[in-house]
Amino acid sequence: MTQYRILFIDSYDSFTYNVVRLIEEQGTTENPIEVVTIRNDTFKDINELIGYIHLFDGIVVGPGPGNPLHGSKEVGIINDLFKNPNFVKIPILGICLGFQAMCYASGANINILETIKHGQVYPINITDNKNQIFENYPSIFKSTRYHSLHVTNFENLNTIIPLAHTNDENGKLLMATQINGKPWYGVQYHPESCCSELGAQLIQNFMKIIQSTSKSRDSDNDISKLKLLQKTIDLSPIHDPTSNSNTNTPILKEYNVSNDPNLTFKICDKLNMDKFIMGSSVVSANRGEWSIIAVPSKDSVVLTHYGSLKKTTIHKWQDESLKMKQIHAALKTADAIVNENLEVINEDKESFWHTLGNFMTDRSVAVHQDIPFIGGLVGILGYEMGSYIHFNDNNVLRPDAKLVYIENSIVINHMNGKLYTCSLSTEFPQDISQIVSTVIEQEAQTQLDWDHTLPKGIDYKIDMPNKEDYAKAFGQCQEYMHQGDSYEMCLTTQTQVTPSQRLPPWTIFKTLIKRNPAPFSSFFHFNDILDNTNDILSFISTSPERFLKWNNQTCELRPIKGTVKKSNEMTFEKATEILKSPKEFGENLMILDLIRNDLYELLPNVKVEEFMSVEEYKTVYQLVSVVKAYDLDRSKYAGIDVLKYSLPPGSMTGAPKKITVELLQDEIENILNAPIDDGSRGMYSGVTGYWSANGNGDWSVNIRCMYSYDSGDNWRLGAGGAITVLSTQEGELEEMYTKLESALQVFM
């Protein structure tokens, strides 16, 4: 058996692990392939990498943002890699950015395309089909293009051998090459995209080239060096589901009920107590099948993270000995605190994830996998809890994540008409059981008489996005995409609504449910401190989009990209035609490839189960895909790890994720949305859901939502859309207002 080892150099791209898994999948039992991934800035000097090269049989330089003309500040060591004589004999495959840097180092120029191609599928014409890299290829095949830059002035260079091209509005463009006299190959297109043909064949051919040059290696010292290299990107798990020793069995009672999703809200109407709702007001296969009513008790533990303060508080729900001034004082002190009624931990958001993992370790229950939620953590993770995003240093006591451990819940399956009361305590509360039984008995005779409008006599001051500011932000996005920094940017806006008098969040939620029913409706009113009347976090959502669902075996993401407003003139057929246009197709494809990458980062078995289906909602049509990862139980990761490493949601950022969220936060949205919350997205664009004690999880994207940090004195609503090079300012502004209207309509 011969194991081949590839060094993959990542440029913080959002398609990196699609390429990594594609390479690994070409290995066999007799000849497995190991891929070690580093970043282009892991080493500050190319000479630092030279001491590791003998460990590898080949190098793949992946795609990413940036321009080789701008040197190390944008592409790290990549330019120097192709100029250093120590690498001339090792086989190298450059993809997109890697291809451009390879050609640039060999004398070619790099220019910006007149017409940018992001997420577009084009025919690739092979110029030299006798070259090893294109062995067994047809003369023409299709592949996905993601590039603003292209290689020029190569025709008269004897260093560059053209191997393939494509034709578009820009003319004839170089799509593949070999560097003369070296085992270096490059492709401009993305072979790893789910719409690219023959990507596996490209890697197989590259491995054949490697096999002719491979060598023996790996002394004990080499293995030590390899392990150090493997640790340069930290993908360590935060939770081990097999380490718990909890043998508790939840107490369950089953009821036969109707399939009407309104049953959830009828029960909630009668529950005159604090409750959290993750309910479906629209039921269809694979979305909206379940509703959950989580009821906190005096034993419920509340975990709250304050990102800008780098602190986490832990306490019991409505502990009578705990006052809000004690929380404020504890957050303002520099010390960690452990009292019998309050614990304050000094930690950043990375450590907070580990706090959650440790908290759930001895609370996991390995039973009842057929019920998604039997109790566990429920709550909200704000947008700034995701990777690559920083917290504004405003020292404001506003939570960025808030979760509550629930022992008692009501879980309803709307597809098969089953309701379960679940308790992780000694027994399910009798008073709640009686309410559930009564509502079930009377359901056929009762109607959900919630109002379509809010109470009269209240005025609403609405501060909406400024069109001129939006136009400037749109132009900035286009500039960044055209110069190669991003493929797609999800530009979002913030609206603030100030009622003339405070309304109960429950009243607003009921109206929103009637006006905009959705499969992932949420109600969270965190009334966890008894004497707190002015600083309560409230969150209301009728989201159409699932972010991540998992059980012990699989993970599923359902990205939504592409929106058409419903009207009398807009039929399903017409909406489908619009949503399958090149602009919308490319927008969805980019996020679909990004989602695959987010799953592939931790798990090797990922499949696209549904490719760009049009789904109908109350107010809009949307383009949806489904991506699923398998064999979670065979990996070292749990679903919560996938959640951590894939936030923020790709559908709310764009791609590549790192540079895109940085540009949005630091250069664009901080100015566009400055009047509201210093430009922070807050709870908008984050996720809401649960992590059940039986290992399951389900989280929706915080869109079509509103939230308040001040008990309802002010409500914040976010809305936005993915900007691509094919977007128009007018079209994106209309889409943004369409999405905003879904929630804002209750106040108008």
- Tracing tokens 């034709």 back to the chain, one arrives at 167
Query: Phi/psi class of residue 76: alpha, beta or left (left: φ > 0; alpha: ψ in -120 to 50)?
Result: left
pLDDT value of residue 244: 60
pLDDT value of residue 189: 98
Residue 171 confidence class, pLDDT cut points 50, 70, 90: very high
- Tracing tokens 């940018």 back to the chain, one arrives at 116
Please state the rounded mean pLDDT for residues 667-686. 92
Q: How far apart are CA 373 and CA 19, in angstroms?
A: 35
The answer to whether residue 131 scores a pLDDT higher than 60 is yes
Q: What is the pLDDT of residues 34-49, one digit of tens each?
A: 999 999 999 999 999 9
Please state the rounded mean pLDDT for residues 302-330. 96
pLDDT value of residue 711: 95
Identified catalytic residue from 147, 150, 190, 305: 190
Residue 602 confidence class, pLDDT cut points 50, 70, 90: very high
Establish whether 192 is a catalytic residue.
yes
Q: What is the CA radius of gyration of the chain?
A: 27
pLDDT value of residue 218: 62
pLDDT value of residue 258: 92
pLDDT value of residue 544: 85
Burial category of 85 from C-beta neighbours within 10 Å (exposed 0-12, middle 13-18, buried 19 and up):
exposed
Which of 99-103, 246-250, 474-478 is least confident?
246-250
pLDDT value of residue 282: 81
Residues of the chain above pLDDT 90, percent = 77
Q: How far apart are CA 323 and CA 529, in angstroms?
A: 7
Which of 249-253, 310-314, 473-477, 645-649 is least confident?
249-253
Please state the rounded mean pLDDT for residues 651-669. 95
Specify whether the CB–CB gap between 608 and 624 falls below 8 A: no
Residue 686 confidence class, pLDDT cut points 50, 70, 90: very high
Cis peptide bond upstream of 656, omega within 30: yes
Q: What is the pLDDT of residues 516-546, one digit of tens each?
A: 988 899 999 999 999 999 999 999 999 988 9
Token code pair at residue 602: 């931790």
- For every residue of 166-229, DSSP letters joined together read EEETTEEEEEEEEETTTTEEEESSBTTSTT-SSHHHHHHHHHHHHHTT------HHHHHHHHHH
Q: How far apart are CA 531 and CA 509, in angstroms?
A: 23
Token code pair at residue 258: 């109707």
pLDDT value of residue 249: 82
pLDDT value of residue 617: 74
Residue 443 confidence class, pLDDT cut points 50, 70, 90: confident
The answer to whether residue 451 scores a pLDDT higher than 80 is yes
Residues of the chain above pLDDT 70, percent = 98
Q: Please tell me the number of Cα atoms within 13 Å of 48 on its side-chain side.
A: 11
The answer to whether residue 245 scores a pLDDT higher than 60 is no
- Tracing tokens 């549904």 back to the chain, one arrives at 610
Q: What is the pLDDT of residues 12-38, one digit of tens each?
A: 999 999 999 999 999 999 999 999 999
pLDDT value of residue 599: 96
The answer to whether residue 644 scores a pLDDT higher than 90 is yes
Residue 201 confidence class, pLDDT cut points 50, 70, 90: very high
Higher pLDDT, 255 or 590: 255
Identified catalytic residue from 96, 103, 555, 705: 96
Identify the H or E element spanning 80: helix 78-83
Residue 624 confidence class, pLDDT cut points 50, 70, 90: confident
- Average pLDDT of the chain is 92
Please state the rounded mean pLDDT for residues 701-706. 95
User: pTM of the predicted model, to two decimals?
Assistant: 0.93
The answer to whether residue 446 scores a pLDDT higher than 80 is yes
Please state the rounded mean pLDDT for residues 109-120. 95
Please state the rounded mean pLDDT for residues 417-438. 94
Please state the rounded mean pLDDT for residues 204-213. 92
List, in order, residues 6 or more apart from 233 with CB less than 8 Å away.
10, 37, 38, 39
Residue 717 confidence class, pLDDT cut points 50, 70, 90: very high
Q: How far apart are CA 722 and CA 594, in angstroms?
A: 13
Q: What is the pLDDT of residues 251-283, one digit of tens each?
A: 899 999 998 999 999 999 999 999 999 998 888
The answer to whether residue 466 scores a pLDDT higher than 90 is no
Q: From residue 137, give the alpha-carbon distance in Å to each of 133, 141, 514.
A: 9, 8, 56
Q: Please tell me the number of Cα atoms within 13 Å of 83 on its side-chain side.
A: 14
Residue 216 confidence class, pLDDT cut points 50, 70, 90: low
Please state the rounded mean pLDDT for residues 706-716. 96
Please state the rounded mean pLDDT for residues 49-77. 95
pLDDT value of residue 623: 81
Identify the H or E element spanning 74: helix 72-75
Identified catalytic residue from 74, 192, 584, 601: 192
Please state the rounded mean pLDDT for residues 614-635. 86
Q: How far apart are CA 246 and CA 231, in angstroms?
A: 32
Establish whether 96 is a catalytic residue.
yes
Residue 220 confidence class, pLDDT cut points 50, 70, 90: low
How far, rounded to the nearest angstrom, does the alpha carbon of residue 345 sit from its chain's CA centroid? Answer: 27
